[in-house]
Structure 1
Amino acid sequence: MVVVDREKWASKAEFILSSLGYCVGMGNVWRFPYLCYRGGGGAFLVPYLLMLFLCGVPLYLLETSLGQFSSLSAISIFKTMAPALKGCGYAILLVNFIVTMQYNLLISYPILFLWECFKAAVPWKTCGNSWNTEKCVPVNQNNASAIFALNANLTQAEKFKTAADEFFHNQILNISSGPSEVGEIVWPMFVINILSWIVLFLCVVKGVKSVGKVVYVSATFPYLILGILFVRGITLPGAWDGIKYYIVPEWNKLLNLEVWADAACQIFFSVGPGWGGIINMASYNNFDNNLKTDSTFLPIVNCGTSIFAGFVVFSVLGYLSNRTGIPVESVATGGPSLAFVMYPEAIGLLPYANFFAICFFLMLYSLGLDSCFVQIETIITCITDEFPKLRKNKHIVAFIVVFAMALGSMMFVFQNGMYLIQVIDWYSSPLTIILVCFCEVIMVSYCYGLGNIIRDIEYMLGIRMGLWWKVCWKVINPLVLIFIFATVLKYNTKVTYNGVEFPDWAIILGWLSSLVSLLLIPGYFIYKFITVKGSFTERTSLCLTVHDWGPADEVTKREYQAYKNKMI
C-alpha cells in the first residue's frame, strides 16, 4: 500500500463546504429544473428521489468510506483493492481533465456578462447594437407572442432572434454558423479564460489548505443569491403560472423509460460518484469522522438545492410568460440557453435589472468555480499519490496540471467553441463514469468482499451498518448501473445546438472523447492480466485480489490488523 504524508482538513466545516460546493454546480440551476418540467413536473420527483436513495446515497457513502479509510485517491484505491481495475483510476483522471477544460469556459461566460452589467442598462434588452442583425427583435408585451408564432413556420436561418439571444451568441460567443467554421479567436473570451485559470490555480496551489478557505465563500454565496432571487421571483406577476408548470405532476410521464434514465443520470452527475472527487475529499478526513451522517446529508442537500433552484427559475420564466404572452412551455429550456438567454431575458424586464443580473451571474460563477477546483485537486492528488516523491513539490504539479488544461481549453475560444463544448459535454463522460461506478461496486462487493468493507466501516466509525447498505451495494447498485448504461446508449441521440445539426466529424470527435477514457478500463485489465505470471486462475486471483489494504497511519493500521485478527 502507498503510504503518504496526508494533509487534513482544518475543520469538519471545510470538508462539508467543499463537498457541497463540488456537488452543487451549474447543472442544478440549468439542467435539473428543465428535466423536472420535461419529465412530468412533480411526477419526476418519484424516480429522482428513488434514484437518490437507491444509488446516490449508497454510492456516496461507499466512496467516502474508501477515501477516508485509506487516505488515498481513486487511482491508488483501485490499484490496492483490485490491481487490474487500476484503469478505472486512469479513466477518472482523464475524464476530469477533459471535462474541466470545457467547464472552465462555461464559468467564464458569467464573467463576460458581469462586465456588461455595470453599464447604465443591461445591453441584452435592446436591438440596434453593433452585434445585432436585422432579425433582432426586443421582447416586449406587444410583439413577443406574435414573433414566437411566426418563428414556428420559419427555418432556423429565417427565424427572428430576441435581443438576449443575439447578445449571447453574437456578442459573448461571436458564434460561427456551425462546428466546421472555426472562425477567429474571440479575444474577450481568450482573456477571461486565462484569468479564470489563474483563479483556479490560486485556489488549488496549496491543496486542501487553500481549497478549504475558498469554500467558506464560494460554497455559501450561491445560497444567499438563490434566496434573494427566490424571494424576488415568487413576488412577480405570473410567477405561480411558471411554478405550476414545474411542480404539477403528469403521472403518465412515468411510463416513459427515458424519464427514469434522466432521473438516474441527473443523480449521478450532480451527486458525483465515479468522478473521484468524493473519494479525494474524504481522503483528507480524520479516520473516525462520522461519514455516515455526511454521506446522507450532502446528497439530500444537493437534491434539495436542485428542487429549490427550480422554483427560482420557473417563477421568473412565469413572469417572462406573463409579460410577453409567450406560453411557459415555449420559454422553458435547459442548458446554456436557459442560463444565458431566457433567464437574462426575464431579468432584463425587471426593475433594477442590473442588480439582479449581477447576483445571478456571480452565483453561476461561484457554482462552477467549486466544481472546477475540486476536479483539478482530484487530478493533482491522483498524480501525487501515484508518485509520492512529488508531494513536496505539489505546487509545481498544480501549475503543470492547470497550465496543461489551460492550453487544451484554447480550442474552445474560437468562434466554433460552443459547438465543441456541446460535443464534449454530450459524449465525453457519461458512459465512462457509469462503468467506473459499476467496476467500483463489483470490486468492493465481490472482489474485496461485502463483509470486509462492512467490517472496515464499522471499525472506522464504531457503529453497526444495516442490511440496507449491503443489499444496495451487492444487488441494487449493479442492476441500476447496468440499466443506466443501456439507456444512455439507447437515448444518446445526435447532439444539436441552437438549431444547428452537427456534422459527422463532430459526432466522431465526441465518441472518441468518450472512448479514449472508456477503453482505459478494459485495456488496463487486459494489460495487467497478460503481464502477471501464472495459470489462468492464478492470474485472475492476482489481478482481482486486495494488496495491503488498510489505514495509512501506521499506528491505526496496527490496531486495525489486531481487530481483523480478532474477527477471524
Structure 2
Amino acid sequence: MAQKEKLQCLKDFHKDTLKPSPGKSPGTRPEDEAEGKAPQREKWASKLDFVLSVAGGFVGLGNVWRFPYLCYKNGGGAFLIPYFIFLFGGGLPVFFLEVALGQYTSEGGITCWAKLCPIFTGIGYASIVIVSLLNIYYIVILAWGLYYLFQCFQPELPWAKCKQPWNTEHCVEDTVRKNKTLWLAANATNFTSPVTEFWERNVLSISTGIEDIGPLKWDLALCLLAVWVICFFCIWKGVKSTGKVSVTHQHTLYFLVIVDLRQSFEILKNQQSHPTSQVWIDAGTQIFFSYAICLGAMTSLGSYNKYKYNCYRDCLLLGGLNSGTSFVSGFAIFSVLGFMAQEQGVDIADVAESGPGLAFIAYPKAVSMMPLPTLWAILFFIMLLLLGLDSQFVEVEGQITSIVDLYPAVLRKGYRREIFIAVMCFMSYLLGLAMVTKGGMYVFQLFDYYAASGVCLLWVAFFECIAVAWVYGVDNFYDAVEDMIGYRPNPWMKWSWSIITPVLCMGCFVFSLVKYKPLTYNKVYEYPDWAIGLGWILALSSMICIPMVMVIKILQSEGPLIEENQSKVKRKQTSPGPKWEQWLNQAHPHHCRNNDVSALCERNTIDVLSVVSYLLTLVGLHCPVYSR
C-alpha cells in the first residue's frame, strides 16, 4: 500500500476530537449522557493548556534542590557531559514517546499499552504503582513547606536565633560562629545551628529510628490534609485549570536570582572532576526524575491532545524549558549558598545540601542572614508550594486518568469521577500519615530511596523503548507520528528508541545495582534489615508488573507460539480481525477495513515471541502464544 494511503487509513482510525463543556465531568460529553451512549473522553480547550500543564508537571522541586546539588557534588561542569548525553539520548526521546503514544491512542497510561502492544500492558501497571507510591510521599514535602510558611508570619523568624523552647544547650547562633575569637573561647565542639534544631526538634520532633515511629504530629497532619484538599479541588474538574498557573510559578522561580551570580560561576569553574560511574547514575536518574517520565502522567496529558496536534515541536520546547529551569535554579541556589558561606567564613561544601536539607535547613538559614529575611522566606516557601503542588496535580491526574480509562463506562458517568478522585486522595492521605509521625522522616526516606527510585524508572523506560521500537515496530510508530504532526521527526528519535535509550537505561540500571548502598539517614543512622527488605518490596512492586503481566498474557493464549505464527496469515483471511482492528471498526465503521489495513495494524509481537518459543522447544519446553 502506498505511503499516502497508509497514512490516510491511520488518520481514519481515530475518533473526532471533542471540545470540553464547562461544568461537566472531564472526559464525558453531555450528548453521550443524554442519549445513553458510552462516555467519550474530551480534549484540551487550547494548546496553551497542554503546554502549561506539562511544564507545571515536570518543572518541580527536583529542579530546585536536586540538580544544583548533583552538579556541585559531581564536579560542576564535568557533570554536564553525562547530563546532556542522557538528555538527548534518553530524556527527550522517552518524553516525546510517551506524549505521542497518549495522543495517538487517546488513552491513559495503562490502556494505551493494551491497544498498542498488549503483551506489554505491564508497563502501564508498573507506572501506576510508581506514581501511586510517589503521590503518597511527595506531598509530605508540601506539608512541611506549608508549616514553614505559617511560621514565617511572626515578628522574627523562629529558626534565626536560639533560646526557643525546642533549642538545646548545644544551639549556637551563626553570629557567634562567625566571631572566631568568641567561638574558640566557647570551646563549642558539639554544636548545632538554630535552623537545624528548628527542623529536627520542632518540625519533625524526630525519634531515634524507624523502630520508634511515635505518635502523630497533628500540626503536620493538618498541613498534609490542607494540601490534599487543595490538590483535590484543583484536579476534580481536570488539569486544564491548573496549567494556567504555571506561568506564575516559573516567574517566581526566576525571581529568586537576586544575588550576584558570580559566585555560582566561580563554583562551577573551580570544580575539576572526571565523569565516573556514579556521575552517570546521578545524571540518568536526574533526567528521568525531572522529566516526570515512566509515571504515566505524560501519556495521560498527551491523551487529551487533538489528533493533529504538533506534539513533537512542543516536546522539544518543553524539554528546553525544563533543563533551562534547572540551570537557572542552580545559579540561584548557589548564589544564595555562596552568600551564606561567605557570611559564615566557611567553604561552600560545608553548606551545600540536597533534598529536604537544602529546602528546610540550608535555604532558611541563608534567608535569615539577608536583609528583609521574612520577605525572602515567604517568597521561597510560596515558590516551593507552587512548584510542588503543580507537580502533584499532574501526577495525581495521570494516576486518575489511567485508572478511569480502564473503566470508562463506570467512572466517566455523572460525578463518579469526582467521587473516585476524592476516595483516592483520602486513601493517599491516610497512608501518608505514617510520614507525619515523630518517626515519619525515616518512612519518608524509605519511600524516596526505593519506591520511586531511579532503578524503577530506568526499568520501565527500557521496556517502553523495547515495546515501541522492537515489538510494535519503530517504523509503524513513525508512520503514526507523521500522520499526527504532518512530517517525520528527526531520525535521532528512531535511533534513540531502538538502540541508544535502551543501552543507556540498561547500563545505568546495572551500574545502580552494582553501586547499591543500603539506606542511611544523615550518614549516621543505619536502617534495620527488615526496613531495607520493606524498601526492596516497594521497589519490586512496580518492577515485577512487566514480566508478571507478560507471563499472564502468554499463559492465557490459545495455543503454542509456533502454531499460532504459522496460522497467522490464514487467520487474516478468514477471521474478522484481531482485537485492535475490531476496536478500530467500532470507532470507525465506515473507514479502511481492507487487508492492507489489517496488515498495517499487525504488530511484530508474534514474530518476536515465535523466536523465543522456538528456542524453548529446543530444550523440551512448551510455550503458549499470546493470543490477541
Q: Same fold (TM over 0.5)?
A: yes
- Distance change >3 Å, CA 90–CA 19, structure 1 → 2: same
Residue 254 of structure 2 is aligned to residue 233 of structure 1: no
- 1:495-510 correspondence runs (5 A): 495-498=519-522, 499-510=524-535
- Distance change >3 Å, CA 518–CA 549, structure 1 → 2: farther
Other-structure match for 1:444: 468
| 1:57 aligned counterpart, secondary structure | helix
- Distance change >3 Å, CA 106–CA 546, structure 1 → 2: farther
Contact 2:50 2:243 in 1 (8 A): no
1:38-78 deviation line (CA, Å, top 9, x unaligned): 11112211211121111111111111111011110111012
**Of 538, 557, 562, which aligns to 1:513?**
538
- Distance change >3 Å, CA 39–CA 414, structure 1 → 2: same
- 1:191-270 correspondence runs (5 A): 191-207=222-238, 211-217=239-245, 219-230=246-257, 232-234=258-260, 240-250=262-272, 252-254=273-275, 256-270=276-290
1:85-133 deviation line (CA, Å, top 9, x unaligned): 2222111111111111011111111110011111011111101101111
Residue 375 of structure 2 is aligned to residue 355 of structure 1: yes
Other-structure match for 1:313: 333
**Of 204, 209, 216, which aligns to 1:185?**
216
**Of 265, 274, 298, which aligns to 2:294?**
274
- CA drift of 1:241 comes to 3.4
Contact 1:319 1:346 in 2 (8 A): yes
Other-structure match for 1:424: 447
Question: In 1, distance between residues paired with 2:431 and 2:14?
Answer: 31
Segments of structure 2 that go 5 or more residues without pairing to the other structure are 1-12, 16-38, 569-576, 601-628
1:241-267 deviation line (CA, Å, top 9, x unaligned): 3542245452x322x111112111111
Question: In 1, distance between residues paired with 2:88 and 2:183?
Answer: 41
Other-structure match for 1:412: 435
Question: In 2, distance between residues paired with 1:412 and 1:13?
Answer: 36
Deviates more, 1:384-393 or 1:241-250: 241-250
Other-structure match for 2:154: 119
Question: In 2, distance between residues paired with 1:183 and 1:386?
Answer: 39
- CA drift of 1:145 comes to 7.1
Question: In 2, distance between residues paired with 1:549 and 1:226?
Answer: 48
AA matched with 2:67: F
- CA drift of 1:223 comes to 2.2
Other-structure match for 1:536: 561
- Distance change >3 Å, CA 131–CA 352, structure 1 → 2: same
Segments of structure 1 that go 5 or more residues without pairing to the other structure are none
Question: In 1, distance between residues paired with 2:182 and 2:268?
Answer: 25
Contact 1:242 1:328 in 2 (8 A): no
By relative contact order (CA 8 Å, sep 6+), the higher-ranking structure is 1
Question: In 1, distance between residues paired with 2:119 and 2:185?
Answer: 59
Structure (1/2) with the larger helix percentage = 1
Question: In 2, distance between residues paired with 1:10 and 1:44?
Answer: 40
Residue 54 of structure 2 is aligned to residue 22 of structure 1: no
AA matched with 1:336: P
**Of 543, 548, 555, which aligns to 2:580?**
548
Residue 86 of structure 2 is aligned to residue 51 of structure 1: yes
Question: In 1, distance between residues paired with 2:217 and 2:99?
Answer: 41
| 2:159 aligned counterpart, secondary structure | helix
* TM-score normalised by the chain length of structure 1: 0.91
Contact 1:274 1:433 in 2 (8 A): yes
- Distance change >3 Å, CA 64–CA 185, structure 1 → 2: same
Other-structure match for 2:201: 170
Aligned length: 551
* TM-score normalised by the chain length of structure 2: 0.82
- Distance change >3 Å, CA 149–CA 272, structure 1 → 2: farther
AA matched with 1:223: Q
1:372-424 deviation line (CA, Å, top 9, x unaligned): 11111111111111111211121111111111111111111111111111111
AA matched with 2:240: G
- CA drift of 1:523 comes to 1.4
Question: In 1, distance between residues paired with 2:361 and 2:534?
Answer: 27
Contact 2:78 2:274 in 1 (8 A): yes
- CA drift of 1:465 comes to 2.9
| 1:463 aligned counterpart, secondary structure | coil
Contact 1:96 1:375 in 2 (8 A): yes
- CA drift of 1:214 comes to 2.1
**Of 343, 354, 377, which aligns to 2:397?**
377
Question: In 2, distance between residues paired with 1:538 and 1:248?
Answer: 65
- Distance change >3 Å, CA 537–CA 413, structure 1 → 2: farther
Other-structure match for 1:470: 494
Contact 2:106 2:112 in 1 (8 A): no
Contact 1:168 1:341 in 2 (8 A): yes
